[in-house]
């Protein structure tokens, strides 16, 4: 046991998608992240013996920021840098971040520190993607440090969250603006998301499922549709059969009228129904190739537009809650007799 632990996360594919403007937004976000975590108080979920876990966290993202700045200077955008990488592997897309954990009481046990580091990274992925959707890409990851060979680092893709932001922009609905990182992080602390292992509240069920959406790679099949519609039902408190009309009504109540081009709710419900009736095709997991993203996107059985538009609604509802400093919606139904 030691008084603190330093854990390095090596990210083999750290550059998220982004055009010139989006590249600037992502770099600005990571600059906020880099300055935010300096002896920052962080509460993880209770340990196996039921003890509360509190740490001071430092995050060094200098190597990642240097990689991103170099990509912008050399290619102008992340998208163009990724194209350059396909043609020339010397155009690096890998970087590392370093997490330093210091217990606020007691000593730092190795297994406990890796567990807290994993929860911290999940919280970071949530906050960053809520603030700037699609800003975090942690692929081909591995821990480096004492005992690291015993623990597997989790992976999160930026693709679906980035697609959701593009969908909202293209359809001009739902309203989805960028947030400051600290605003998203402090709201997650209000939700106490990092402190629980099993989500009980509707908002933490939604947020844990958002992590599962971020784990999806070139897979926007019916399984991903289930994750998206589950989030909508949790956020809008529609937890009974045949709730599609209620989802429509409550979405309009909060976010305004739904343009036809952005109305993915019927499609999401139809895909879920087909899955439960065993009518939905199932595809073999594909070979993931950096130069084959478009062909994978167009593969039959993928539901890119529905998943991305649905995720945009989820993010917009979360933004609406943050603007009200709230963690859930309460709906009151009324009956009028004539």
Dihedrals φ, ψ of 120, to 5°? -60, -45
pLDDT tens for the chain, 338 residues long, are 568 899 999 999 999 999 999 999 999 999 999 999 999 999 998 776 667 789 999 999 999 999 999 999 999 999 999 999 999 999 999 999 999 999 988 778 889 999 999 999 999 999 999 999 999 999 999 999 889 999 999 999 999 999 999 999 999 999 999 999 999 999 999 999 999 999 999 999 999 999 999 998 866 778 899 999 999 999 999 977 678 999 999 999 999 999 998 999 999 998 888 877 777 777 777 777 777 566 555 554 566 889 999 999 999 999 999 999 999 999 986 656 66
Give the Cβ contact number of residue 56 at 10 Å.
Answer: 16
Task: Specify the pLDDT at position 186.
Answer: 98
Task: Specify the pLDDT at position 335.
Answer: 57
Rounded to an integer, what distance in angstroms lies between the CA atom of residue 254 and that of residue 275?
Answer: 29
Rounded to an integer, what distance in angstroms lies between the CA atom of residue 226 and that of residue 198?
Answer: 19
Task: Specify the pLDDT at position 107.
Answer: 79
Task: Specify the pLDDT at position 300.
Answer: 47
**Nearest alpha-carbon partner for 285 in 215, 213, 210, 217:** 217
Task: Specify the pLDDT at position 299.
Answer: 58
Element (H, E) at 53: strand 53-60
The number of C-alpha atoms within 13 Å of 192 and in the hemisphere containing its C-beta is 12
Task: Specify the pLDDT at position 336.
Answer: 63
């Amino acid at each position: 046991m030691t008084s603190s632990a330093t854990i390095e996360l090596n990210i083999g594919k750290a550059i998220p998608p982004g055009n010139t403007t989006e590249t600037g937004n992502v770099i600005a976000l990571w600059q906020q992240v880099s300055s935010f975590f300096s002896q920052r108080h962080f509460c993880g979920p209770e340990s196996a013996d039921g003890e509360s876990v509190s740490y001071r966290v430092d995050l060094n993202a200098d190597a990642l920021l240097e990689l991103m700045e170099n990509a912008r200077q050399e290619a102008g955008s992340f998208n163009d840098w990724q194209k350059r990488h396909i043609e020339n592997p010397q155009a690096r897309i890998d970087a590392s971040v370093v997490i330093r954990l210091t217990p606020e009481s007691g000593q730092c046990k190795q297994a406990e520190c890796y567990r807290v580091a994993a929860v911290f990274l999940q919280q970071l992925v949530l906050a960053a993607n809520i603030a700037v959707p699609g800003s975090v890409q942690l692929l081909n990851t591995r821990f480096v440090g004492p005992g690291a060979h015993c623990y597997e680092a989790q992976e999160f893709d930026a693709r679906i969250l980035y697609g959701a932001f593009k969908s909202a922009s293209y359809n001009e609905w739902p309203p989805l603006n960028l947030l400051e990182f600290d605003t998203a992080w402090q709201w997650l602390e209000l939700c106490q998301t990092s402190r629980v292992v099993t989500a009980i509240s509707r908002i933490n069920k939604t947020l844990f499922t958002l992590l599962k959406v971020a784990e999806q790679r070139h897979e926007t099949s019916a399984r991903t549709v289930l994750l998206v519609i589950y989030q909508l039902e949790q956020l809008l408190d529609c937890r009974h059969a045949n709730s599609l009309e209620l989802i429509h009504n409550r979405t309009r109540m909060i976010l305004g009228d739904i343009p036809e081009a952005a109305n993915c709710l019927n499609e999401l419900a139809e895909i879920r129904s087909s899955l439960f009736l065993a009518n939905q095709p199932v595809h073999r997991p594909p070979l993931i190739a950096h130069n084959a993203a478009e062909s994978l996107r167009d593969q039959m059985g993928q539901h890119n537009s529905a998943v991305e538009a649905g995720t945009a609604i989820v993010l917009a509802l979360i933004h609406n809650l943050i603007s009200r400093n709230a963690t859930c919606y309460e709906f009151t139904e009324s009956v009028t007799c004539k």
